[in-house]
Structure 1
Amino acid sequence: MVIFMESEYILNNYVLEKLVAKSELNNFRCASDDLTDFLKNDALKQQEQNLNITQLITCDKEIIGYYSLLTDSIELKNIRDTDSKNIIKEKLPKNKKLPAIKIGRFAISEKYSSQGIGSQILKNLIFNLIKISEKIGFRYIIVDAYAKAYYFYVKKNNFVNLKKDDKKLEKIDKIIETDPEYTFFLYMDISKIKS
């Protein structure tokens, strides 16, 4: 018998647990085979090499989802906001790359998808990253999003695509249909949220 928890209950009671060797992952499945496979086969190996940190999102010992974080950078030329770009160029004239935290993977269990849980957890994650940015210098949160997750990140969670992808994104619905795991680089300027 499959037991479903209410989304409100999950959002009020979920906890984060760092992935460890004894984490029980067998019952986790999300809509993407690639994201499911990453958690089960690659996440711990990469974490052991200090390439990322994976946090399991659990509620009553059930894995609701997970995310992996790592450091990265974004090229200054890819920033859409000309005013921000010019201010950064003025303050850091030699920098071509800017520090960022990357959400390497983010997935919610198939069982609990499309209930608003992912957006709320992502908002909480962004809030926590903003707090961390007060102690560690970075300005951007970035993600390589699958085409099928484009609306989730851009429309629901205020990420921005690179200008170079504007033309391609005119056909986003077709891309989602034909190549749902095509990847778009998206970013969020946390200074816009802090102010």
Structure 2
Amino acid sequence: MSWNLPPALSNSASQLINVFANGPGPGPTSLVSTLTSNWDLLFTPPISHVDMAVDPRVTDIIRGKKLRYCLCIDTKQWHLFEQVALPDATLCIVNPDGSFVEQDGVDWNWPTRADFINYLQKTFGQHQTMHNAGAAAFEQVSPDEVKVTSSGIWHLAAGETQGTGGGYYYETWVRKDDDWFMKSMRLERTNWYMS
């Protein structure tokens, strides 16, 4: 087995081996001084990738935009969706088996923000809805991209018909200037019940 050690650690390992094999030798080098001067190198695990912590200001912006997403749909203020998603944002809603939700021959898979909003206006514009976004996990992919997974519950009232469902949102958000916008959204339904 061979070890690919960084040069500083490789030199420290050589020093340690030399100290163990031959004693401290002349000069100030000793096992204790070699260990203490290289402690971080010896006892810090190697980094295989760099984890980027998500700035809390970014998570606050995205959470606020997710609330606005819910408000746009539930209050029928469709124009506000411009503040949430990019014009070329892709949005889809899928069943537990991964197939697109389908209604009246239309797959719920929209290639643009406008297509998504136009469909919602026509289909749900007259219905009462309530969307609740739950806990979210954030992953910084790059300085300008964050992936978000969050839970969601929604309710629908269409005349005498009531519906409730839940699922998980898988989203990609990107930075544009000093703001963040949804680039893609995949809502995976886990349940949907109509009465």
| TM-score normalised by the chain length of structure 1 | 0.26
Higher helix share: 1
Q: Rg larger in 1 or in 2?
A: 2
| TM-score normalised by the chain length of structure 2 | 0.26
